[in-house]
Amino acid sequence: MIEAPNPDTLPAETALRDPGEVMRLSRMGSFFPTRLSFMRTLIRRLSRETATVTRPVWDIDESGFGRAVYSLTVGGHVYSLVAFSAPLDPERRTDRVIAEAWDTSYVLYDGTPSTAEIDRLEENAPKQEAGRFGASDLVLCRANKSVRVFEHVVDCLARGTQPCSDLINATGYLMRTTAVYGNGKFGIADRARIEQRSGLSGPFAAEMLAVWLVRGFTLDLVEHIARCRAPATFVALDRKFKRHLGIGNATGLGMAPFLVSHPILLNNWMMARETALARVRAVSKTSPEIIESFLHLIARARRHLGQWTVDDGRQSERIATLRGELAELEALATPQWLSEPYPWDRLIEATGRCSLECQELVVALVLEPHGDLVDGLVDCMASDERPRLQPATTAGDLKRLIAEHCGWATSIDFEYRRATKQFWYVSEEKLEPRLGDRYDEPGADLEMPLDIARRVQALRRDLDGLPDEQTVAEFLLSRPEHRYVVRRVQTLAAHPYAEIRDNLIGADCLPIDMLRCKLSFFGASKFDPKSDRWTRITLYQGAPLFDEIGGADADDWWLPVLEGAS
């Protein structure tokens, strides 16, 4: 029997920030990775278990083509990344999801694959969506080289020199993934196979494990090619570069609707983050050790921002503003100022005059030195629960919930075309979400149900005039089209952070904000928007290498900085 926690033993908390403040796209699109992010959580788990990565197979030729296997044990189970590298015509190299060939392809395998299983995967993994997969195949992914950086590093190591620091910092990876598939897609294992396993039960844990192993493979691959090219002069890549090279990722619209289609999971992510912040804000007196750690982290954040450059004009302006604001906060937060009562609450209050991006950076910053207070919240972030209809509740209950949680939706004027300009649909070719212009493009009749605000308004109109005591079951018998949105409204009673409080079909909706929110929970950094619909990011930049798991600094890689880069 599970006992309820004793309130007297729980950490103190301030009030959580209001969902109406937190769940706006402008703020969600300003999030930074935190120590609750899924990559950080996974690496801490691997470190606690001092997981050891082995490489039982390395059949890679001198040009870097062939296959390899990496295995490790976590939570009592063995998992193996099976990697394949093949020649690719430069004209076929693209980050777009419609690509049909890649430099490398991978499967995270449940167990240790036999030679026959590796042969099977070698036949199918390079085909990706077109391949045949089974219950032992947990994650499917592919990645392309960042050709300029990859070749530069190979050439330097072969000549006995180290690569250019500025080039390494500007790109941050040797390869970037163009898709990482899990949860039963294209015939791979359903999440049910692993969801109860210790170590991979958290959100996207299997996918994050696969990406970390892919990162290790890319580092081995670049050194292997350089060594084969010039064994007499070859030198290994400096460890500082290895730590700073993560895995790139190009992410587009396909990821955005996830936050809408998994409202309870979104609530749990947000609730954990907001509860962590409330716990830290409630700290009445901090220690000299934490102050010292904080001062080190804010200086690192300042240097990280100095090394974060993008081509996108909007994001460049935001970064410039953020640099100035963080410098002001750094000047404010002296050791004496932080030694006074409730330092973290006062610091959060001080950011109220700053940009949203600065506010959310400081949220991540104040969580970082307080692992003892907040790390346990990661156990509350998973959920397979879906919204369930409560037919016995009444029309009056629905009206009250809409008034309490959905004022943002009922205030939108959908008579204006700009309020309904966009529609979400699924492409026939790749079965991926896309965004169309309702008044210039066909397909609105196939619209995905992401028009939550419009649906809430329609529901509220049809509730007018109904007696408050009429049950939801009776109401839906005559108006069954509202079943979907009734479930969502009812969900908000117990899950206040379950709904994005913006019009997702309006002309002003920027999908990039939804992408950044989700990617920040993954642990991504160096957001590099290429439009308002897709971005490049870096995963595992600064993370420990295979031989550093369990080390003293295995969890100290928030907003990494490359020493020597300008």
Say what percent of the chain tops pLDDT 90. 84
Q: What is the pTM of this model?
A: 0.94
Contact between 272 and 559 under an 8 Å Cβ cutoff? The reply is no
Q: Is the pLDDT of residue 3 over 60?
A: no
Q: Does residue 447 fall inside a structural domain?
A: yes
**Neighbouring C-alpha atoms within 13 Å toward the C-beta of 306:** 14
The DSSP call for residue 127 is G
Tens digits of residue pLDDT in 326-382: 999 999 999 999 999 999 999 999 999 999 999 999 999 999 999 999 999 999 999
The number of residues making up the chain comes to: 566
Per-residue pLDDT, averaged over 533-539, amounts to: 92
Of 46-55, 445-454, 557-566, the poorest mean pLDDT is in 557-566
Question: Residue 67: enclosing H or E segment and its boundaries?
Answer: strand 66-74
Q: Does residue 450 fall inside a structural domain?
A: yes
Report the pLDDT value the prediction gives residue 99, as an integer from 0 to 100: 64
Question: Residue 145: enclosing H or E segment and its boundaries?
Answer: strand 137-145
| pLDDT band of 491, cuts 50, 70, 90 | very high
Q: Does residue 498 fall inside a structural domain?
A: no
Q: Output the average pLDDT for the chain.
A: 93
Assign 3-class secondary structure to 173-195. Answer: EEEEEEEEECCCHHHCCCHHHCC
Q: Does residue 317 fall inside a structural domain?
A: no
Q: Is the pLDDT of residue 2 over 50?
A: no
Q: Is the pLDDT of residue 323 over 50?
A: yes
84 vs 142: CA distance, rounded Å? 9
Per-residue pLDDT, averaged over 312-321, amounts to: 96
Q: Is the pLDDT of residue 5 over 60?
A: no
Q: Is the pLDDT of residue 63 over 60?
A: yes
The angle that helices 38-48 and 511-522 make with each other, rounded to 10 degrees, is 10
Q: pLDDT higher for 226 or 8?
A: 226
Domain count, the chain: 1
| pLDDT band of 1, cuts 50, 70, 90 | very low
Please, which residues have CB within 8 angstroms of residue 258's CB and are 6 or more apart in sequence? 518
Q: pLDDT higher for 77 or 5?
A: 77
Please give the structure tokens belonging to residue 68.
């390899």
Write down the number of H helices and E strands in the chain: 22, 11
φ/ψ of residue 172, rounded to 5 = 90, 5
Assign 3-class secondary structure to 489-502. Answer: HHHCCCCCCCCCCC
Per-residue pLDDT, averaged over 20-26, amounts to: 97
Q: Does residue 443 fall inside a structural domain?
A: yes
| pLDDT band of 505, cuts 50, 70, 90 | very high
Of 15-19, 47-51, 98-102, the poorest mean pLDDT is in 98-102
Q: Does residue 508 fall inside a structural domain?
A: no
Closest by alpha carbon to 351, among 27, 33, 29, 24? 27
CA 32 to chain centre: 10
Tens digits of residue pLDDT in 261-305: 999 999 999 999 999 999 999 999 999 999 999 999 999 999 999
CA 15 to chain centre: 26
For 236-252, b/e burial (b = at least 16 CB within 10 A) is ebeeebbbbbbbbbbbb
Domain that holds residue 482: 395-491
Sheet harboring 137-145: ordered strands across? Answer: 54-60, 66-74, 77-85, 104-110, 137-145, 173-181, 246-251, 535-539, 525-529
Q: pLDDT higher for 369 or 129?
A: 369
Q: Does residue 468 fall inside a structural domain?
A: yes
Please give the structure tokens belonging to residue 118.
């590796």
Report the pLDDT value the prediction gives residue 4, as an integer from 0 to 100: 43
| pLDDT band of 308, cuts 50, 70, 90 | very high
| pLDDT band of 98, cuts 50, 70, 90 | low
| pLDDT band of 133, cuts 50, 70, 90 | very high
92 vs 98: CA distance, rounded Å? 11
* Neighbouring-strand partners of residue 175: 145
Contact between 442 and 456 under an 8 Å Cβ cutoff? The reply is no
| pLDDT band of 8, cuts 50, 70, 90 | low
Q: pLDDT higher for 86 or 96?
A: 86
Report the pLDDT value the prediction gives residue 97, as an integer from 0 to 100: 58
| pLDDT band of 59, cuts 50, 70, 90 | very high
Report the pLDDT value the prediction gives residue 13, as an integer from 0 to 100: 87
| pLDDT band of 239, cuts 50, 70, 90 | very high
Closest by alpha carbon to 295, among 360, 233, 347? 347
183 vs 194: CA distance, rounded Å? 10
Q: Does residue 215 fall inside a structural domain?
A: no
| pLDDT band of 47, cuts 50, 70, 90 | very high
Contact between 179 and 130 under an 8 Å Cβ cutoff? The reply is no
Q: Is the pLDDT of residue 148 over 60?
A: yes
CA 195 to chain centre: 19
Tens digits of residue pLDDT in 178-236: 889 998 888 899 988 998 898 898 899 999 999 999 999 999 999 999 999 999 999 99
